[in-house]
Structure formats: structure tokens, C-alpha cells
Amino acid sequence: MEEDHSLINIDSSTCVACYACVRVCPVNAIQVRVDQEPPVVVHDRCIGCGSCLRVCAPEAITYRDSCDETKAILTSGRKVAAIIAPSISGEFVDITDYRKFVRMIRELGFTYVNEVSFGVDMVASQYKELFNKFMGRYYITTNCPPIVSLVEKFYPGLIDNLAPIISPMIASAQLARHLYGDDTAVVYIGPCIGAKNEALRYTGISRVDSVLTFVELRKLFAEFHIKESTVEYSDFDPPLGYKGSLYAVSNGILQAAGVNEDLMKGTIITAEGKDNVLEALREFDNSIDFIRKHFNLFYCEGCLMGPGTSMGGKKYVRKTLVTDYANKKLKDFNVDLWRSECQRNTELTDFKADFKDDDQRVEQPSEEKIEEILKVLGKQGTAEKTGCAGCGYDSCRDFAESVAKGLNRTDMCILYSMKSKHDFIKTLKLTNEKLAKTQEALQDSERIARHEQQIAQEALERTSSMLQKLPSAIVIVDEHLKIIESNQSFINTLGDEAAEINEIIPGLVGADLKTLLPFQFYKLFTAVIGNNENLVNKDVHLGDRLLNVSVFSIKKGKIAGAVLRDMYLPEVRKEEVINRVTEVIDENLDLVQKIAFLLGEGAAKTERMLNSIIESHKEGKK
């Protein structure tokens, strides 16, 4: 399985999506994607500057840990040399004597402990020679890994302007193998996490087997319970560095080289810190023929404030500690021995550095796309001049270009995000007001519905009560002839069997009418439900009784009701006789009226005929 060499990682379970890391990254190597809430690291774009580490409050961002790798080397049985960056004197303010500090490192299992400051001295001499042999090309120093990576990835046109000189770490690794043998493992201990990736570029005598940051070194001290109070003095293994001890300060290597830094006559410009080096590279790229200076660049505030140092360190306190240590060390320094060591080891060292074109620039988006995004942001017209820099860009146009390249989202703009949130809150407020009104209307409707339901229930109860008190038998059935409701008179009409069922199922609800009535009887219900035509005053025999039945449709094709009257009951018989006599009288009266009408018509016709004859007779006599 391929080894993972990613330098920076984000723990999505710890990340709170504040996007501070996205805003601070100088090369947009940390992106916010549409389909992911936590930001993600684009490792190919990362330059190892560590800016993101410093701004991540929840500590969700970590760098590649080398503690286990170093412990494996220390227990491998090989000779292991620790090469220590000069900035260590500014990191370990809690250790009173550097000799105790050297002993603590040896206690971890290192065979040798060497200063990188001697490697700085050798590299510084190469810079002095390069600058003194000026042939018209201006150079950028290559001691800072993030600067080298920044040029390779985002200023590939300046690769030929990178000074072709290895860093002090690589020079010190070569020195260790010259001193102790090619099989010696080398572990660099310093303030820079970018050095972890730089170490991967070299093999053979220049290789660095592991890179520990000062923070990781403290972890190992704590793990193995190594304290200053429990160890004796020990000094660095020779050769010792001279002014290379000032390397932790940005212009320290220039002092080590003896390069003139005079503002009037000097040929070097030193820049440190993220904003300064980014501007320095832009100006070097665009205006070097006008500036006509070499650039000495360090991404951090010198190596004193590297991302591998402890959080909360004070720059000028650390600088003072470094210079105090250098002064103390150089007080009785043997310069002649140092010169001979420099000459001898310089002849053995290969200082040649090669750099590669690793262009990570994204193609410039169209002007239309940029304008479209600026319109969305509400920044049309003034985008070139305005910019709060909250997104990490100098202007709104720069930010819009980044969004158009797919490196950012529009909501990374703080003002746009705030406006969107305010608009959302306003919309939400209006929605809540509408919802409150709807809820109130719903509650009113619910109250009305409950009231109507109560009225309907009361009406149903009254109807059922009235139904039970009617002397006529009443039954209501569905399309399957299942009884929905019936009264006691219906049950009495059906007889004892129905009464027994009623004791178990009150009102015969759900009973099948087909099991209670004969075919010629229940088919009347089927006919009414099927044809939706009412059947009135149909005489039907049920056993020895004569029933007068009226079946009517209540719900078309679904529900039918019937009224049954026992014609043998005295009150029904009397009522029915009166009804039928009345019906006969009405029919006779109707017949009499028709006869009278016909007689009246005939008399009138006879009278007209007689009158006509009389008139005709009178005319004849004349």
C-alpha cells in the first residue's frame, strides 16, 4: 500500500467549519466545496507554511507526525545523528543551560547530537560566492522550504531564479554521514513542518530519515519522562557553528555569509512573514529589472516563529534568546579551528540543488464568469478597489476569481454571508408570521369543526332516539345489505331470532339482511340500491303477516333505508283503511270531475247544433 505523505490534515469530527484556515491559506490549498461542509486540504497545492495551524481554535488541523517514525529509527540498532536547528535556543526558554538540553536529546537514544549552525556556515559561504559572482541574474534564497514550494507551484517562471543551493538541513545531513558513515540515520529537529516534505526530495548521502518539530520533541521528552533536573551536562558534537547560530533570525544567514546589507550599497532585500513574502514574490516577478536586488525570503517571522514551535511564543523574546546564546557561545570561540573545519567539509559537500516545475495554477476564468459572481456578491463596479480582506483576498475581484476557479464558495465572503443570513432571517420571520396566522386560522377551523361535530353528534343521537320510538319498523343497510342501523320495531317485526341476535349485537349492526329476510323481501333493497329508484307502499308477506314496505335510496348505490308497517296491527289497519278510503274517494271525485267535464262538453256541442238547425230553418222560410 502506498504510503500517505500528506502533510496537513483536517479532522472533520473536530472541525467547526469556521473557515479561518480557508481564509488564511495563501495558496487556496484548503477549499470549501459545495458537497462538503468541513473544508478539505488539496495536498498538491499545499506549500507546508503551517498558517492554518495557527488559526485553528478547535485544533482540528494537524500535520504529519514523525514521533513513531523517529522511535523506530532509534530502536533499529543503527547509529543515529540528531541535527538541531539554531532556533532551538529560542524555543526551550524553560531549559536554563543548553548543555542540559543536549543531554536530554541523547537520553532519547541519539548517538550523536550536532548543530545545524555549522551547516548554515557552509551554506552561507556558497551564497556569498554566488552573490559576488553576479552575472546579471537575481536570486531568491532557498533556505525556507515553503518559499521553494511556493515558487515551484505558483511562480514556476521564477524557478531559474531560485538559488541553486541546498538548505542547511541537507548540508548538515551530508556532514553527519561524512563524519559517522553512510549508514548513519539522520533526524532533523527544527521549527518547520515544511522541512518534512523537503526531506522527501533527497536520497543517498543527502537524505534525512525523519524530521521532528520542537513540539514533537517535547512530546518525546514527556513520553520518556526526561527532565532537565534529572540529567547532567553534555555538549554538541563537533564541528560547532559560528555565526550560523543566528540563522533563526531572517537576516542571520546574511551575517553568517558576511554579505553587505547596507541600504545604500547592499544587494540583498530581506522579507519575512506571510504578507511580506507574498508581496515580495509578486514584485520580484513583475519588477525585478527595476528593483535589481537579490531576495532573502523567510515565510515565517524568521525560523523563530515556525509552525513547529510551541504556541504562544513571543518573537522578540525568542530573538533575544537566540542572540544571547550566540554571543555566549562565540565569546571563547576558536575561529581558526572553525575555518579549517569549514574548508575541509565544504570540499566534501555537494551544494547543488535542483528544483522542479510543479505548476498548480488554475486557468484564469472568463471575464463574464467573474462579473457574474461579482453580481451575485453585489460588488459590481467597485470590486477592484473594495475589499474587507475577511475572505483572505485583497479585493472582491480577487475573491470572485477564486470562486470562478472553483477554489472557494460565495458564502466565504463575510458581507455576502451576513446579507444572506439577514435575508434568511427576514424571510423566516415573515414565514413565521404567516405560519402563526395559518395556525390561528387552523385552530378556529378546528373549534368550528368540533362544534359542528358536536351538533352532528347531538342530532344523530336525537335521530336515533326518535328512530327507536317510531312504531314503524326502520332499517338502514349498505350496498352489501349489511345493517347499519335499525330500531326496536324492526327487531320485533323479525321475531325471536332477531331478538336473540340483538342481545349480542345491539341494533343488529353489521348483521346480514339476507340471513334475516327471505329472497323476495331483501331483493327489494337490492333493486333500490342498484337502480336508485324508490319503492313505495309495496305489500309483502312475511310469514303469516302482511307488511307494507317502502324502500328508498339514501346514498346512491351505497345506502338504502326502509319503513315496514305490519298491516295486521289495529292502529296500522285503521290508518291504512282511512288512507285507502281517502285514496278511493279521491279517485272517484277525479272520475266524477272527468264525467262532468265530458257531459258539459257534449251539452254545449248539442246546443250549438240545435241553434244552427233553427237558423237554417228560418232562412228557408224567407
pLDDT (tens digit per residue) in 403-424: 766 666 666 665 656 665 666 6
More confident call, 572 vs 610: 610
User: The dihedral of CA 309, 208, 203, 137: what is its sign?
Assistant: positive
Task: Report how far residue 229's alpha carbon sits from residue 594's, in angstroms, rounded to the nearest whole number.
Answer: 141
Percent of the chain at pLDDT exceeding 90: 41
The whole-number pLDDT of residue 138 equals: 96
Instruction: Residue 417: count other Cβ atoms within 10 Å of its Cβ.
Output: 16
For residue 11, give the CATH number of its domain. Answer: 3.30.70.20
**What does the pLDDT read at residue 1?**
39
Instruction: Please indicate, yes or no, whether residues 20 and 93 belong to a single structural domain of this protein.
Output: no
Count CA atoms within 13 Å of residue 121 on its CB side.
Answer: 22
Would you say residue 309 lies in a domain? yes
**195/278 same-domain check:** yes
Q: Answer with the residue of higher pLDDT: 73 or 3.
A: 73
d(CA 373, CA 482): 71
For residues 388-392, give the mean pLDDT: 61
pTM of the model: 0.66
What whole-number distance in Å separates Cα of residue 376 and Cα of residue 495?
85
The reported pLDDT for the residue numbered 93 is 82
CA atoms within 13 A on the CB side of 395: 13
Calculate helix-pair angle for 396-404, 367-377, nearest 10 degrees: 120
- 8 Å CB contact between 403 and 372: no
Residue 527's pLDDT is 86
Q: What are phi and psi of 84, to 5 degrees?
A: -110, 125
Span of 110-124, 202-216, 397-411, 524-538 with lowest mean pLDDT: 397-411
Question: If 0-12 CB within 10 Å is exposed, 13-18 middle and 19+ buried, where does residue 463 land?
Answer: exposed
Q: Which of 79-88, 167-176, 424-433 bottoms out in mean pLDDT, i.e. has the lowest?
A: 424-433
Give the Cα separation of 350 and 175 in Å (integer).
10
> Tens digit of pLDDT for each residue in 214-244?
999 999 999 999 998 888 899 999 999 999 9
Whether 354 is in a domain gets the answer: no
Domain of residue 227 covers: 65-348
Residue 420 lies in a domain: no
For residue 610, what are the contacts with CB-CB under 8 A and spacing of at least 6? none
Judge whether 267 lies within some domain: yes
Q: Say yes or no: 204 and 324 in one domain.
A: yes
The least confident of 138-147, 297-306, 309-318, 405-414 is: 405-414
Q: How does residue 601 score in pLDDT terms, banded at 50, 70 and 90?
A: low
Lowest mean pLDDT among 13-27, 344-358, 541-555: 541-555
**Residue at 610 is within a domain:** no
Q: Which residue has the higher pLDDT, 34 or 281?
A: 281
Judge if 21 and 7 occupy the same domain.
Answer: yes
Tell whether the torsion through CA atoms of 385, 388, 392 and 397 is positive or negative: negative
For the four alpha carbons of 458, 460, 461 and 463, in that order, the dihedral sign comes to: positive
Assess whether 400 and 518 both reside in one domain.
Answer: no
Do residue 49 and residue 81 come from a single domain?
no
Q: What is the pLDDT of residues 579-590, one digit of tens each?
A: 555 565 565 556
Phi-psi region of 465 (alpha: psi -120 to 50; beta: other; left: phi over 0): alpha
Give the domain CATH number at 564.
3.30.450.20
Task: Give the distance, in angstroms, between the CA of residue 192 and the centroid of all CA atoms in the same chain.
Answer: 32
Q: Both 275 and 287 in a single domain?
A: yes
30 and 125, same domain (yes or no): no
Which tens digit of pLDDT belongs to each residue from 179-196? 999 999 999 999 999 999
pLDDT value, residue 2: 44
